[in-house]
Amino acid sequence: MAGNSPKVADEGKGRTDSLQSICYKRGSLHLLDQRKIPLETTYLDIRNSADGWFAIKDMAVRGAPAIAIAAALSLAIEAFNLESFQGTPDDAASFLSQKLEYLVSSRPTAVNLSDAAIKLKEVISKAASTSSEAKAVFQAYIEAAEMMLEEDVASNKAIGSYGASLLQSQEEGSKTLSILTHCNTGSLATTGYGTALGVIRALHAKGILERAFCTETRPFNQGSRLTAFELVHDDIPATLIADSAAAALMKAGRVNGVIVGADRVAANGDTANKIGTYNLALCAKHHGIPFYVAAPLTSIDLSLPSGQEIVIEERSPKELLNSRGGLGEQVAASGISVWNPAFDVTPAALITAIITEKGVITKAGNDAFDIKDFVQKVSGQPS
């Protein structure tokens, strides 16, 4: 790798779906550069974990599930292409573990990334304890990373199915539904189909989606650039709105529900998601509109009792000072101070339900989520 960013791959090579954010086969990984959508479709050639780190940090790849898979696979590529490794199985395990820690530092708020690293370290440790050669440890890691890729698509489709059924049942008096979403939670934020946008896809497939509304999602414009791109691509009836127009849209009675993704969900249900999510939840509460979170179980962090413990990443001031999320010309006054948190935390009290690939988490009689109990039940763990 030269410099501090991954190389651009040959566009279109070996790909048939322009919405495939992660193109992988053993020994080869290409990530769609989402900073250039919708004007360009360019793939980055990821050759090692350093390439993966920069692609994630610079938001060429984004979305909590996609970040985790991209990180895991970037190290799988590096492990596969190692020409020689002089060391024991324990040395191989140490090498991989250190690389995983490095990858986790790229975007600290997304729990999927740290969760993936923990699970992969368990695989590495087990392989090291039972193998006589370092090669076997690398092979075990590669196979585990590839399994994560396969499981993500199935997980997303299950979230879509559970979510569509929930929204349909809670709006029994409506033949069709109009749903508002924020940021990008579709094929571009995952390995395919999506979480919150996957629910919208499932509603559309059932013929009960009247319209999807998507926010711009400033300052990086994931809604106008990415979600709008996906909705148009799939011929889903959709309308783009300014972030500041959401309250007026709700007041006009044009929204039946709001659904968003999550980068991290605390044990009590407090949810960190793209900045602006909290605003939408407050508006939805005021207008009596249900507010849903759609996320895989890997986004749930039971080690955090509440959202107060979630580390919130702050992005570069340039994303506000310049157009196109920091990639274009200067639009703000020189010398102005900037506060640019990437995420906010929506209190559980504002969330109607949390939709996962294992079912829907609803509130108990005390109007609170018991997420730990749900996770234990669906995973077969003792209470």
C-alpha distances out from residue 282 to 267, 277, 316, 348, 351, Å: 21, 9, 27, 11, 10
Reported as half-sphere exposure (CB side, CA atoms, 13 A), residue 137 has a value of 25
Sheet with 300-301: list strands edge to edge. 300-301, 264-266, 271-274, 343-346
Instruction: Choose among 250, 261, 192, 268: nearest CA to 223.
Output: 261
Angle CA 319–323–329, to nearest 5: 110
Q: In sequence order, which ranges of the chain are alpha helices (DSSP H)?
A: 49-57, 64-80, 89-104, 111-130, 134-170, 196-205, 222, 228-233, 246-251, 277-286, 318-321, 371-379
The answer to whether 74 and 44 have CB atoms below 8 angstroms apart is: no
Written as six digits, the tokens of 223 are 């809604």
Please state, in angstroms and rounded to a whole number, the distance separating the CA atoms of residues 302 and 306.
9
The answer to whether 26 and 79 have CB atoms below 8 angstroms apart is: no
Catalytic residue chosen out of the listed positions 33, 115, 152, 263? 263
Written as six digits, the tokens of 288 are 């009596």
Q: Answer yes or no: 90 catalytic.
A: no
Instruction: Report, as residue numbers or ranges, the catalytic residues.
Output: 263
